[in-house]
Amino acid sequence: MSNVSPREILNLTAVAFGVSPEAIGVRRQGRHAATPLSSLARACAVMLIRRHTSEALRHITELIGFDITVGTRLRAAADNFERSYGQDPYLSFCVAEIEDAIDTLHEARLDAMERATASGMAGFAAIARSMQRRDCHAH
C-alpha cells in the first residue's frame, strides 16, 4: 500500500486528465452533465485509489462526492476502466504518469521518514552518551 492519500490520487488524476477535481465528482448538475473526459478521470481515480490504498469503497464514493448508493456503479466503472485502459495509448499514458507521480510521492515520504528516524536516533545516541558521561563523572 502507498502512503499517498486518496485525495492526492484524485488530484493527480485530475491534473493528468486536464479536469478539475470537482469535475470528477460531477454526474449531473441541472442541465450540466459530466463530460466523457471527467467520467474517464473518475473511473481512473477510483481504480487507482483502490489499487494504491486500502480505502473502502464507501469512503472513495464520499471523497468523489457521490451518494453511497452509487458505489457499486463506481466500482463497475473502475473495473471496466481497468480492463480496457491498456488498449488505449492515451489512457495508458495517463495511468502510467499518475502511477509514476504516486510512486515519486511515496518514495519521497519514505526517504523523509528514514532521514527523520536517522536524525532522531542520532539525537537519542548523543543524549545517551551525555547521560553516560555524567554517570561516569558522578562515580
pLDDT in tens, 54-106: 999 999 999 998 887 888 889 999 999 999 999 999 999 999 999 999 999 99
Closest CA to 16 of 121, 103, 122, 93: 93
Q: Which residues are CB-contacts of 95 (< 8 A; sequence separation ≥ 6)?
A: 44, 48, 85
Please state, in angstroms and rounded to a whole number, the distance separating the CA atoms of residues 47 and 103: 16
Residue-level pLDDT at 58? 92
**Cβ neighbours, 10 Å, residue 104:** 11
Please state, in angstroms and rounded to a whole number, the distance separating the CA atoms of residues 28 and 75: 19
Average pLDDT in the chain: 85
For range 44-62, the mean pLDDT = 95
Q: Which amino acid is at 103?
A: D
Q: Name the more confident of 52 and 125.
A: 52
**CB-based contacts of 49-53 (< 8 A; 24+ apart in sequence):** 49/6, 49/9, 49/10, 50/75, 50/78, 52/1, 52/2, 52/4, 52/9, 52/99, 52/102, 53/1, 53/2, 53/4, 53/5, 53/6, 53/9
Q: Name the more confident of 34 and 19.
A: 19
Q: How far is CA 31 from CA 25, 66, 70, in A?
A: 15, 18, 20
What is the SS3 assignment for 33? strand
> In this model, does residue 126 exceed pLDDT 90?
no
In residues, how long is the chain? 139
Residue-level pLDDT at 66? 85
